[in-house]
Structure 1
Amino acid sequence: MVVGDASLDIDTLVIGAGPGGYVAAIRAAQLGHKVLCVDKATVGGVCLNVGCIPSKALISAAHQYEAASHGEAFGITVGDVKVDWSKVQEFKNGVTKKLTGGVASLLKANKVEYFNGEVMFINENEARVFNDQEAPRYRFKNCIIATGSRPIELKAFPYGGRILSSTEALSLPEIPKSLVVIGGGYIGIELGQMYSKFGTKVTIIEGSDAIMPGFDKDMSNLVAKKLKAKDVTIVTGAQAKSATQTADNVTVTYAVGDKEESVTADYLLVTVGRRPNTDGELGLDLINVEMTDRGLIKVDHQGRTNIPHIFAIGDIVPGAALAHKAMYEGRVAAEAISGLPSVVDYKCIPAVAFSDPECASVGYSEKEAKEKGHNVKAGKFPFAANGRALSLNGAEGFVKIVSDADNGLVLGAQIVGIEASNMIAEIGLAIEMGATLEDIALTIHAHPTLGEIVLDAAEVALGHPIHTFVK
Structure 2
Amino acid sequence: MRELNCKLLILGAGPGGYVCAIRAGQLGIDTVVVDRAPPGGTCLNVGCIPSKALIHAAEEFHRITALSEQPEMGISAGGARLDLAQTRRWSEGIVSRLTGGVAALLRKAKVRLVTGEARLRDGKTAVVDTPEGPVMIRAEVLVIATGSEPVELSALPFGGPVISSTGALALETLPESLAVVGGGYIGLELGTAFAKLGSRVTVVEAADCILPQYDADLTRPVTARLAELDVRVRTGVRAGGLSPEGALRIAGDDGAEEIEAEKILVTIGRRPRSEAAGIAELQLDRQGPFIRIDERCRTSMRGVYAIGDVTGEPMLAHRAMAQGEMVAELIAGERRVWDHRAIPAVCFTDPEIVTVGLSPEQAQADGTEAITGLFPFAANGRAMTAGREDGFIRVTARADTQEILGIQAVGAGVSELAAGFALALESGSLIGDLTGTIHAHPTRGEALHEACLRALGRALHI
Write the distance in 1 (CA, Å) between the matches of 2:155 and 2:387.
Answer: 43
Find the counterpart in structure 2 of residue 376 from structure 1.
370
1:288 aligns with 2:287: no
Find the counterpart in structure 2 of residue 330 from structure 1.
324
Find the counterpart in structure 2 of residue 192 from structure 1.
191
Find the counterpart in structure 2 of residue 301 from structure 1.
295
User: Residue 403 and residue 467 in structure 1: after superposition, are their counterparts in 2 closer, same or farther (change >3 A)?
Assistant: same
Q: Is the 8 A contact 1:73 1:393 kept in 2?
A: no
Write the distance in 2 (CA, Å) between the matches of 1:192 and 1:322.
Answer: 20
TM-score scaled by structure 2?
A: 0.97
Write the distance in 1 (CA, Å) between the matches of 2:155 and 2:247.
Answer: 13
Write the distance in 2 (CA, Å) between the matches of 1:25 and 1:89.
Answer: 30
Structure 2: where are the runs of 5+ without partners?
A: none
Output the aligned Cα RMSD. 1.3
Find the counterpart in structure 2 of residue 23 from structure 1.
19
1:138 aligns with 2:137: yes
Write the distance in 2 (CA, Å) between the matches of 1:46 and 1:129.
Answer: 20
Find the counterpart in structure 2 of residue 48 from structure 1.
44
- Per-residue deviation, 1:245: 6.5
Q: Is the 8 A contact 2:34 2:114 kept in 1?
A: yes
- Per-residue deviation, 1:189: 0.1
Q: Is the 8 A contact 2:272 2:312 kept in 1?
A: no
Write the distance in 2 (CA, Å) between the matches of 1:180 and 1:298.
Answer: 35
1:137-177 deviation line (CA, Å, top 9, x unaligned): 12211111100011001100000010000000001121111
Q: Is the 8 A contact 2:222 2:349 kept in 1?
A: yes
Find the counterpart in structure 2 of residue 444 from structure 1.
438
Find the counterpart in structure 2 of residue 260 from structure 1.
256
1:43-91 deviation line (CA, Å, top 9, x unaligned): 1110001100000000000111111112313221012211122221121
Q: Is the 8 A contact 1:162 1:245 kept in 2?
A: no
Q: Is the 8 A contact 1:19 1:326 kept in 2?
A: yes
Describe the SS at the equivalent of 1:136: strand
- Per-residue deviation, 1:241: 1.6
Q: Is the 8 A contact 1:251 1:265 kept in 2?
A: yes
Find the counterpart in structure 2 of residue 232 from structure 1.
231
- Per-residue deviation, 1:258: 5.0
- Per-residue deviation, 1:119: 1.6
Find the counterpart in structure 2 of residue 459 from structure 1.
453
TM-score scaled by structure 1?
A: 0.95
Aligned pair partner of 1:360 in 354, 357, 361: 354
Find the counterpart in structure 2 of residue 425 from structure 1.
419
Amino acid across the alignment from 1:68: I
User: Residue 465 and residue 45 in structure 1: after superposition, are their counterparts in 2 closer, same or farther (change >3 A)?
Assistant: same
Describe the SS at the equivalent of 2:309: helix
Amino acid across the alignment from 2:22: I
Write the distance in 1 (CA, Å) between the matches of 2:254 and 2:237.
Answer: 10
Write the distance in 2 (CA, Å) between the matches of 1:295 and 1:244.
Answer: 32
Find the counterpart in structure 1 of residue 170 from structure 2.
171
1:284-333 deviation line (CA, Å, top 9, x unaligned): 243322223x3211111111111121100111002211111111111121
Write the distance in 2 (CA, Å) between the matches of 1:33 and 1:20.
Answer: 17
Write the distance in 1 (CA, Å) between the matches of 2:223 and 2:28.
Answer: 50
Describe the SS at the equivalent of 1:189: helix
Structure 1: where are the runs of 5+ without partners?
A: none
1:15-35 deviation line (CA, Å, top 9, x unaligned): 000001000111111111000
Write the distance in 2 (CA, Å) between the matches of 1:213 and 1:30.
Answer: 41
Write the distance in 1 (CA, Å) between the matches of 2:282 and 2:356.
Answer: 37
Deviates more, 1:37-46 or 1:87-96: 87-96
Find the counterpart in structure 2 of residue 204 from structure 1.
203
Where do 1:89-100 residues align within 5 Å?
89-100=88-99
Q: Percent identity?
A: 42
Q: Is the 8 A contact 1:183 1:204 kept in 2?
A: yes
Amino acid across the alignment from 1:275: R
- Per-residue deviation, 1:123: 2.4
Pairs aligned (count): 459
Q: Is the 8 A contact 1:438 1:462 kept in 2?
A: no
Find the counterpart in structure 1 of residue 306 from structure 2.
312
1:427-471 deviation line (CA, Å, top 9, x unaligned): 210111110111001101111111111101111011111111xxx
Find the counterpart in structure 1 of residue 344 from structure 2.
350
Find the counterpart in structure 2 of residue 223 from structure 1.
222
Deviates more, 1:143-152 or 1:254-263: 254-263
Write the distance in 2 (CA, Å) between the matches of 1:424 and 1:124.
Answer: 37
